[in-house]
Amino acid sequence: MDVGFFHRSAPEVAPDLIGWHLTVRGCGGTVIETEAYTPDDPASHSFRGPTLRNRAMFGMPGCAYVYLSYGLHLCLNVVCLPGHAVLFRALAPDAGMQAMMTRRGSDRKSVLCSGPGKLGQALSLSLADNGRAFDGGEFALLPGMAVGPDRVMRGPRIGLSRGLEAEWRFGLAGTAGLSRPFAPQKKNAHR
DNA sequence: GCACCGATTTGCT
DNA sequence: GCAAATCGGTGCG
């Protein structure tokens, strides 16, 4: 993989990660939904500079930023430029299914990884994973099937009170298991 | 020090 | 549709 891939802004990287393959200790699947966060974005954890919790967001590009959401969910990002990160919101699961079904308490494929918190539970993330590199060891992140730009949907991010203007949520069209549906895409909206 | 708000999910009304 | 679970960060006194 080109090391320069993550040396870009999160809004550039996020759509490019759709269709990649993510695994954590043998469990995972195809990336079907992502969101981008930047340092000058009021909705981003990095907006007010580094803290103990978000320090990984300012670390090595291509490494993980794992944080505790609402006091109980662990969410996974990949770091891009300093203060930039892409949140993995949903996967189409295909590896380590048995373990993920057990952890999620369901055998329905479409609900195993259909949200950032669910994904964290299925992959059994922990805060000890914060800062870990996606180097093919415990964490792997590799280009998978090529996805044409026409199959990547975009829209406003989920669960925010600020930063709703930017359409920095991306998803693979025609996929089951998204965290939420996307609004109908405008035609002619290239890039 | 204290109250409130989140990059969420689940279960109950 | 709404509240609960639960904790780090932020803002105010």
Protein-strand C interface by C-beta, 7 A: A 48, 51-54, 68, 70-72
In a domain, A186, yes or no: no
Please state whether strand B lies within 7 Å of residue A161 at its CB atom: yes
Please state whether strand B lies within 7 Å of residue A38 at its CB atom: no
C-alpha–C-alpha distance, residues A164 and A125, integer Å: 28
* Nearest C-alpha neighbor of A94 from the set A145, A131, A146, A35: A145
C-alpha–C-alpha distance, residues A53 and A187, integer Å: 40
Q: Which residue is nearest to nucleotide C4 (CA to C1')?
A: A70
- Which nucleotides of strand B lie under 7 Å from a protein CB? 5-10
How confident is the model at residue A121, as a pLDDT?
98
Mind listing the pLDDT tens digit for each residue in A128-177? Answer: 999 999 999 999 999 988 899 999 999 999 999 999 999 999 999 999 99
Lookup: nucleotide whose C1' is closest to A53 CA: C8
| Beta bridge mates, A133 | A63
How confident is the model at residue A191, as a pLDDT?
57
The answer to whether A84 touches A62, Cβ cutoff 8 Å, is no
What are the tokens at A122? Answer: 């299925």
In a domain, A183, yes or no: no
How long is the CA A67 to C1' B7 vector, in angstroms?
10
Residues 171-190 of A with CB under 7 A from strand B: 179
Across residues A88-95, what is the average pLDDT? 98
How long is the CA A70 to C1' B10 vector, in angstroms?
13
In a domain, A28, yes or no: yes
Please state whether strand B lies within 7 Å of residue A122 at its CB atom: no
pLDDT at A2 > cutoff 90: no
In a domain, A160, yes or no: yes
How confident is the model at residue A26, as a pLDDT?
98
pLDDT at A190 > cutoff 70: no
In a domain, A147, yes or no: yes
- Which nucleotides of strand C lie under 7 Å from a protein CB? 5-11
Q: For chain A, what is the domain count? A: 1
In a domain, A179, yes or no: no
What are the tokens at A106? Answer: 């369901």
pLDDT at A187 > cutoff 90: no
In a domain, A181, yes or no: no
How confident is the model at residue A147, as a pLDDT?
95
In a domain, A189, yes or no: no
Across residues A110-135, what is the average pLDDT? 98
Q: Which domain holds residue A50?
A: 3-172
Please state whether strand B lies within 7 Å of residue A10 at its CB atom: no
Lookup: nucleotide whose C1' is closest to A76 CA: B7
Mind listing the pLDDT tens digit for each residue in A35-68? Answer: 999 999 999 999 999 999 999 999 999 999 999 9
C-alpha–C-alpha distance, residues A151 and A148, integer Å: 6
Q: Which class for A110: exposed (0-12), middle (13-18), buried (19 or more C-beta within 10 A)?
A: middle
Q: What is the CATH number of the domain that holds A41?
A: 3.10.300.10
